[in-house]
Amino acid sequence: MEMDTVSVRCCIAGGGPAGMMLGLLLARAGIEVLVLEKHADFLRDFRGDTIHPSTLEVMHELGLLEALLKLPHQKAPRINAQFGELALTVADFTYLKARCRFIAFMPQWDFLNLLADRAARYPTFQLRMNAEVTGLMEEAGRVVGLQVATPDGPFAVRAGLIVGADGRHSVVRARADLQVEEFGVPMDVLWFRLSRRSDDPEDPVGRFDIGRIFIMLSRGDYWQCGFVIPKGSDAQIREQGLASFRHSLAELAPFVADRVGELGDWEAIKLLSVQVDRLRQWYRPGLLCIGDAAHAMSPVGGVGINLAIQDAIAASNLLAASLREDCLRVEDLQRVQQRRDLPTRMTQRLQLFLQNRVITRVLHGGGSLVPPLFIRRLARFPFLRGILARIIGIGFRPEHVNTASVWTDQEAGREG
Ligand SMILES: Cc1cc2nc3c(=O)[nH]c(=O)nc-3n(C[C@H](O)[C@H](O)[C@H](O)COP(=O)(O)OP(=O)(O)OC[C@H]3O[C@@H](n4cnc5c(N)ncnc54)[C@H](O)[C@@H]3O)c2cc1C
């Protein structure tokens, strides 16, 4: 039996930050775009929660900043860390020359729902949830479409450009046989929630002690917690028992000692496997990968979402005109990689440096916890915190939206 086939100018696999932002930008530029997301909604527990100053700037350029900041969020003007007895500010965003000098902590589903809502106001935008990309269609060495599974049965999409924005375990990049360069990672993360009280600290908290790192991100009435463990040690930690795990948390963050009992069983604690990798080539004729599908990011610095969004902006800026004219060449796709390769490499290099110099040392160190020299320098020289804030908050080579909207944003707003 023939499969149903739909045709669009651009089809994006994956409705994460990269896919939704690119979908919005292309629709805004008058290009017919279809985003396919395998889940039924954006409401998954594991989504990074950080909206960085550079993304806030982009939201301003799109006329969406006000709407975004109306959603419940916490502003973090600084990132603080505690190394054993030493408490210090690692990044201070108040130094930035930016419209928003803070990181907005917001559940990512709220951010993605806003992008989906605004994109849906453009007539050229379509989003299909519950649509899982399972394979690619190729003709004469060119990717020309996708196979999609849905609860109502499979269908196919033909498009002038397929974008793989389907994250760290990208099906698109695997099916396209793009070569991946992998970098070693010393850690995994246990992910869970604890309730939050009104007299708890406001800012995100990172506590480093021998063999343990505990990160807490405020989501209003609860803490989203990440407990960093040596890679592959999950089974051993579970074997030691829940009581021992709860005890570790209470030791690291005494103000939650009265709440660790909320973790009633291991079901409440999910293992997130961390990986860092990068495609050697992000494209093939008819296909481009962006975001984690092109370069899986470590959670270090919480910059992955930012980078994914920057890729989407660069892709839209560089491809919109040729997509609209239906004259996309492989050289155009190459230009996207050329533009984003350097910032990606530099960010990953920094993440790997921090992983090796700080995280490995904390997780595998014995005796007393002595913070590395550059961390001690951060405590002494405030301008260094400004530099780190710039790298984390703005990133290398920030992108700006320069794709004109063919249908003005005011018109799009009125339609909705
Ligand atoms: C433990 C951990 C914590 C992190 N915390 C942060 C943080 O706080 N801040 C930060 O900036 N970064 C963080 N990161 C990194 C961040 O999660 C990623 O860099 C970022 O999500 C990449 O965005 P993306 O849109 O490329 O991919 P994703 O966010 O992974 O989105 C991909 C989307 O594609 C969908 N999808 C997957 N396969 C298919 C398919 N076959 N068909 C259709 N849809 C599909 C998925 O459901 C998903 O919605 C963290 C990473 C880890 C591992």
List per-block mean pLDDT (blocks of 10 residues) for the chain, which spans 416 residues.
88 98 97 97 77 96 96 88 78 90 91 97 97 97 97 97 96 97 91 92 77 84 90 92 94 92 94 93 98 94 92 98 95 98 96 85 69 74 84 93 81 65
Please indicate whether residue 36, judged by its CB atom, sits closer than 6 Å to ligand 1.
yes
How many whole angstroms separate alpha carbon 360 and alpha carbon 237? 17
For residues 57 and 99, is the Cβ–Cβ distance under 8 A?
yes
For residues 89 and 79, is the Cβ–Cβ distance under 8 A?
yes
Report pLDDT for 205. 72
204 CB-contact burial (10 Å; exposed 0-12 / middle 13-18 / buried 19+): buried
Q: Which of 24, 35, 38 to mutate to test the pocket of ligand 1 (most atoms within 8 A of CB)?
A: 38
How many whole angstroms separate alpha carbon 406 and alpha carbon 22? 15
CA distances (Å), origin 129, targets 110, 133, 274: 16, 11, 26
Q: Which of 296, 335, 333, 336 is nearest to 313 (CA)?
A: 336
Residue nearest to atom 26 of ligand 1 (CA): 291
Radius of gyration of the chain (CA): 22
Report pLDDT for 368. 60
CATH superfamily of 4-183+275-393: FAD/NAD(P)-binding domain (3.50.50.60)
For residues 54 and 63, is the Cβ–Cβ distance under 8 A?
no
For residues 340 and 48, is the Cβ–Cβ distance under 8 A?
no
Q: Where are the domains of the chain?
A: 4-183+275-393, 187-230+232-272
For ligand 1, the distance from its centroid to the CA atom of residue 258, given in whole angstroms, is 32
Please indicate whether residue 39, judged by its CB atom, sits closer than 6 Å to ligand 1.
yes
Query: In this structure, what token pair is assigned to residue 120?
Result: 């849906």
How many whole angstroms separate alpha carbon 89 and alpha carbon 51? 19
For residues 191 and 185, is the Cβ–Cβ distance under 8 A?
no
How many whole angstroms separate alpha carbon 215 and alpha carbon 205? 6
Q: Which long-range contacts (CB under 8 A, 24 or more apart) does 233-238 make?
A: 233/188, 234/188, 234/190, 234/271, 237/190, 238/266
CA distances (Å), origin 370, targets 11, 228, 367, 377, 404: 50, 18, 9, 13, 52
Residue nearest to atom 50 of ligand 1 (CA): 299
Please indicate whether residue 49, judged by its CB atom, sits closer than 6 Å to ligand 1.
yes
Please indicate whether residue 17, judged by its CB atom, sits closer than 6 Å to ligand 1.
yes
The structure's pTM equals 0.93
First to last CA, the chain: 39
**Residue type (1 letter), 11:** C
Residue nearest to atom 53 of ligand 1 (CA): 274
For residues 310 and 398, is the Cβ–Cβ distance under 8 A?
yes
Please indicate whether residue 272, judged by its CB atom, sits closer than 6 Å to ligand 1.
yes
